[in-house]
Amino acid sequence: MEKTTAIDVEAEKREILKRYRALLKACRRTLEKGDKEVIRKAFEISLEAHKDMRRKSGEPYIYHPIAVALICAEEIGLGTTSVVCALLHDVVEDTDMTLEDIKGLFGEKEAKIIDGLTKISGVFDQSSSLQAENFRKMLLTLSDDIRVILIKLADRLHNMRTLESMARDKQLKIASETLYLYAPLAHRLGLNAIKTELEDLGLKYTEPDVYNEIQYKLQESEPERKKFINKFIIPIKDTLEDAGLKFKILGRPKSIFSIYHKIKNKGVPFEEIYDLFAIRIVIDTSPDTEKADCWRVYSIVTDFYHPSPERLRDWISTPKANGYESLHTTVMGPDGKWVEVQIRTVRMDELAEKGYAAHWKYKEDGAERESQLEGWIRKIRELLESPEQNAMDFIDDFKLNLFAEEIFVFTPKGEMRTLPANATALDFAFDVHTKIGEKCIGAKVNHKLVPLSHPLKSGDQIEVITSGKQTPKEDWLGYVVTARAKGKIKNALKEEKKKKSEEGREILERKFIHSKLDFTVQNINDFAHYLRLTSAQELFVRVAMGMIDLKTVKAFLRDKAKKPSKKNNKENHQPTLEQMVTNVRGKSDMLILGENLQKIDYKLSPCCTPIPGDDVFGFITINEGIKIHRVNCPNALQLMSNYAYRIVKAKWMSQELLSFLAGIQVTGIDEMGIVNNITKVISNELNVNMRSIGFDTDDGTFEGTIMVFVHDTKHLTDLMNKLRKVPGVLTVKRIDSKN
């Protein structure tokens, strides 16, 4: 037996060496004198540090850091410093080695990057999220060194590629976090290939059935697709060759995730998505003529196929903020099928796939890209300026601003500015300057007077109108979408509140002395609690605004005399969130939903109306017990990503005796008696009761919403299949409850 183990160990040693050599080979193009030795040193330290550790799959742990370093070198195009940090990224977290040791062995820069990659450990209060805090820490380092995020993305990509061996709840947590934060981040940095893979793998684990179905349909339709692409490119190819252009034409299917999004957002089945693939024409041309050559190719393509005027996207004249440059058009191809055509140069193609990390190759272009990157990092620094901000709010702002689609607007002097989609006139004012934002009373958009909340469109020209008397108001927070504007408004309101609070504190102290009541922290908090206010500061602000008088203080005194210590006793019995989690999870780590309610108070969440048979999880809330959500609920990604420790696995017991409300949407051709036929199918179905039914007809078509009580998903699916067979019905789909 021992002999076998020895052979395994030897085989593993050989495999580790093989992977290490593959890494060195990938680093070849960036290696400078002495780099090989530094990488070797990092590899040996990592090998020693992780020698007794294994991954969930049973493989030696060292495979992971080598794989992450390989992704950094090969797929992102990073150099020696990043490879060293990737090899060491888990060492500080998993062993006794400190950041000081790293600094001594490799240098300050390496220690700083690894610090950004090391998770925060420690206990946070009830409402905070450890994941959000870790993400914020990583971004703090990002504002000094972009490589932190690039290595983190490589780490996440390898984890996603090897997620199979993890338990289902871990898979859900990691995949949700990936879709919620890391895929958008890869997109923002222009790492298109990595973004696409992260999204597809995220979907594979959050919605495996949907993923497998789309994958199967793509494979099934591949031969037909290839035939169509060949037919499409024959005339274009000949003409491009005659024009003397060097080019290659690729036909590639859209990613599974983007197809899923179209199915979900547009409500169309797979078969009806017309642009399942894009044809990419990549031309090899010099930087001086690349713009003109791309338009030449566009002209040749549209000579053969009619373009759709609404679907022309010119990201060559104005690249996206993540540096993406390309010309996109959708044309009517053979057999009456729409086809998306992307036209770009070799340089643009490489930058689109590898993003900012690839621009070292294109030095003449580097300065401009560098300044775009600097602008982006500057925005992050601004976001990080208010350290007391809740980490979850911070991440929401971060996502909203840095991953949103962009619009281009102009100042009165013609200077172009980039803002996220849905930005308002007030956002623009704060983008110009904080003081202009704070004093803004309105704006002129394209010479017409508009209110502060007016949403801007690409191409608008905006002139801000200010007044010296204006100050930021609470309701302004509802008028803005950019983190910069939100942060500045919050800071101004906070300052105002602080002033008012100090005023109020002095006034309240006088009122307490007048009522012969000690001005202690306990009495202040009790008074705030008596008035149902959330904090002492809130109390002081109200006092300053004249909303609390002496009569109220005296009423509080009388109330205090009646029940001296009831509140304290009640507070002692209030379980903490940690106790609730432990009580709910118990030993089995699984919440069983069914007739024996386990003495646990749970509610079915209204945002996704789960019914038995749905893949569900429990989320422990602070005030409302446990809420049950469907795994594909719109809010699930955010909850699983940021509050994994409050997620409880849940499954259904047999539920024959109970009925649950579910919604069905039916569309079709408005024929005589169709509503009658639909209701007949429902009432003939065993044990199905209708709660409500509503039909709208419009020019010969109808859309109906039916709320029915069913036992479980099987019951609902059977009913929907029967409805699909009713003549005149086109689509039947499940919707969330409309109470």
Structural domain includes residue 363: no
Cβ 126 vs Cβ 114: under 8 Å:
no
Structural domain includes residue 369: no
Confidence of residue 361 (pLDDT cuts 50, 70, 90): very low
Structural domain includes residue 161: yes
225 residue type, one letter: R
Q: Are 344 and 413 part of one and the same domain?
A: no
| Residue, of 362 and 399, whose pLDDT is higher | 399
For residue 299, the SS3 value is helix
Residue 589, sorted as left (phi over 0), alpha (psi -120 to 50) or beta, turns out to be: left
Q: Are 190 and 249 part of one and the same domain?
A: no
- DSSP character at residue 455: B
Q: Are 280 and 255 part of one and the same domain?
A: yes
Q: Are 693 and 647 part of one and the same domain?
A: no
Instruction: Name, in order, each residue with C-beta under 8 angstroms of 251's C-beta and a sequence gap of 6 or more.
Output: 225, 226, 229, 232, 233, 277, 278, 279, 280
58 residue type, one letter: G
**Biggest alpha carbon–alpha carbon distance for the chain:** 98
Residue 465: CATH number of its domain:
3.10.20.30
For residue 577, the SS3 value is helix
| Strand partners of residue 708 | 662, 690
Mark which of 473, 503, 529 sits at the end of a domain: 473
Report whether pLDDT(150) > 80. yes
| Residue, of 647 and 178, whose pLDDT is higher | 178
Report whether pLDDT(141) > 70. no
User: In the prediction, which pLDDT does 737 show?
Assistant: 54
Residue 709: CATH number of its domain:
3.30.70.260
Q: Render pLDDT for 680-711 as a digit per residue (tens, 0 to 9).
A: 888 777 667 777 888 887 778 888 888 888 87
Q: Are 530 and 628 part of one and the same domain?
A: no
717 residue type, one letter: T
| Strand partners of residue 283 | 247, 345
Q: Are 341 and 283 part of one and the same domain?
A: yes
Confidence of residue 294 (pLDDT cuts 50, 70, 90): very high
Report whether pLDDT(739) > 50. no
Residue 299: CATH number of its domain:
3.30.460.10
Q: Render pLDDT for 244-265 as a digit per residue (tens, 0 to 9).
A: 889 999 887 888 888 888 887 7
Residue 75, sorted as left (phi over 0), alpha (psi -120 to 50) or beta, turns out to be: alpha
501 residue type, one letter: S
Structural domain includes residue 427: yes
Mean pLDDT of 115-128: 60
Q: Which range is least confidently modeled, 93-97, 276-280, 336-340, 577-581?
A: 577-581
Q: Are 172 and 106 part of one and the same domain?
A: yes
Query: Pairing relation of β-strands 602-604 and 626-630?
Result: parallel
Mean pLDDT of 85-97: 84
User: In the prediction, which pLDDT does 575 show?
Assistant: 54
138 residue type, one letter: M
User: In the prediction, which pLDDT does 292 show?
Assistant: 92
Instruction: Name, in order, each residue with C-beta under 8 angstroms of 278's C-beta and a sequence gap of 6 or more.
Output: 251, 252, 254, 339, 340, 341, 342
Q: Are 30 and 164 part of one and the same domain?
A: yes
Tally of domains within the chain: 6
d(CA 526, CA 424): 42
Q: Are 241 and 113 part of one and the same domain?
A: no
Mark which of 319, 340, 358 sits at the end of a domain: 358
H-helix segments, 643-704: 674-684
Instruction: Write out the DSSP string of 197-222.
Output: HHHHHHHHHHSHHHHHHHHHHHHHTH
Mark which of 652, 685, 704 sits at the end of a domain: 652
Q: Render pLDDT for 431-476 as a digit per residue (tens, 0 to 9).
A: 888 889 988 988 999 989 988 889 998 888 999 988 888 888 888 8
Domain coverage including residue 514: 491-562
Q: Are 96 and 173 part of one and the same domain?
A: yes
The Cβ-side half-sphere exposure at 696, using a 13 Å CA radius, reads 4
Residue 467, sorted as left (phi over 0), alpha (psi -120 to 50) or beta, turns out to be: beta
Mean pLDDT of 264-291: 81
Q: Are 328 and 231 part of one and the same domain?
A: yes
* Of the candidates 25, 65, 33, 31, the residue with the CA atom closest to the CA atom of residue 48: 65
- Counting residues of the chain whose pLDDT is more than 90, the rounded percentage is 9
Most confident of 188-202, 265-279, 376-390, 515-529: 188-202
Token output for 363: 């030095």
Active site residues: 93-94
Arithmetic mean of pLDDT over the chain: 79
Cβ 711 vs Cβ 654: under 8 Å:
no
Structural domain includes residue 507: yes
Element spanning 437, H or E: helix 434-438
User: In the prediction, which pLDDT does 378 show?
Assistant: 65
